[in-house]
Amino acid sequence: MEFLEKTVIVTGAGSGMGQAIAEKFASKGAAVVCADIDVDAATETAEKIKLDDGLSLPLEIDVSSENDVKTMIDRTVAEFGSLDVLHNNAGIPQEATPVEDVSETEWDQIISVNLKSAFLGVKYAVPHLRDGGGVVLNTASTAAIRPRTGLSAYVASKGGMVTLTKQLAYELAPSIRVNAICPVATDTPMLSKFAGEDLSVAGMQDTIPLGRLAEPSDIAAAATFLASDDAEMITGTALEVDGGRDI
């Protein structure tokens, strides 16, 4: 119960990694705010946590909206009295598209949801995180460091997430630690949206030396470790949860 009396916000908590991360923090005693643009999904995760005798609050927010993010932080502190961990996890995929065919609208949307969201979250969370020595986690991707066919906006958004993580770790030390997680292909509803003619899910799995996709629970385990006191000397890192994928 290492997160007892701690409050954790997880964005994108309605599905996939976010759901697993929210449930894992709750299983370790945290009160968890389950934030998602899909309020039914967020509510489902929050209800599951309550059924297991945990504390949770579902919130409907669009992480790319400054107003929504501010409301998320305000409501969290009003409900639970503090904020200890902010996990900027919500994200959207990109359909593989040659760069010359990517629309400005799609580019802006992917950068807003996958990258601007972390800036907004930190902007409003920092005054509260400073109170108790808080932690920020950002979900990036192995695509932050290794290019992918047709994913210019997605790769740029995730690369930006890693660089922003390092900047914030530097800027917010010593009171707040900031780390990123870079998952390899993970078995969530998003994964099939990346698969295309050039790359099947089985093909992705074949590139992973440990022989399987990542599971949401693998990412949740990394999140609770990086947020724990065991990681008290770790900040500004991008932890690859990649099964040894080296290309």
Binding site for ligand ADP (CB under 6 A): 11-12, 14-18, 36-38, 41, 61-64, 90-92, 113, 186, 188-190
Half-sphere CA count of 183, side-chain side, radius 13 A: 27
Q: Is 154 an active-site residue? A: yes
Give whichever of 61 and 176 is closer to ligand ADP, judged by the CB atom. Answer: 61
Q: Is 79 helix (H, G, I), strand (E, B) or coil?
A: helix
Contact indicator for 13, 34 with CB cutoff of 8 Å: yes
Residues 6+ apart with CB under 8 A from 97: 106, 150, 152
Give whichever of 76 and 235 is closer to ligand ADP, judged by the CB atom. Answer: 76
Give whichever of 132 and 221 is closer to ligand ADP, judged by the CB atom. Answer: 221
Whole-number Å distance between alpha carbons of 24 and 202: 28
Give whichever of 46 and 172 is closer to ligand ADP, judged by the CB atom. Answer: 46
In the complex, least distance from residue 4 CB atom to ligand ADP, rounded to whole angstroms? 26
Contact indicator for 22, 10 with CB cutoff of 8 Å: yes
Residue from 3, 25, 80, 154 carrying the catalytic annotation:
154
Whole-number Å distance between alpha carbons of 115 and 11: 13
In the complex, least distance from residue 158 CB atom to ligand ADP, rounded to whole angstroms? 11
In the complex, least distance from residue 63 CB atom to ligand ADP, rounded to whole angstroms? 4
- The dihedral built from the CA positions of residue 71, 72, 73 and 74, taken in this order, carries a sign that is positive
- Selection from 124, 136, 46 nearest residue 84 by Cα: 136
In the complex, least distance from residue 30 CB atom to ligand ADP, rounded to whole angstroms? 19
Give the DSSP H or E segment for 137.
strand 135-139
CA 21 to chain centre: 9
Q: Which residue minimizes CB distance to ligand ADP?
A: 16
Give whichever of 92 and 168 is closer to ligand ADP, judged by the CB atom. Answer: 92
In the complex, least distance from residue 92 CB atom to ligand ADP, rounded to whole angstroms? 5
Whole-number Å distance between alpha carbons of 211 and 9: 32
**Active-site residue set:** 154
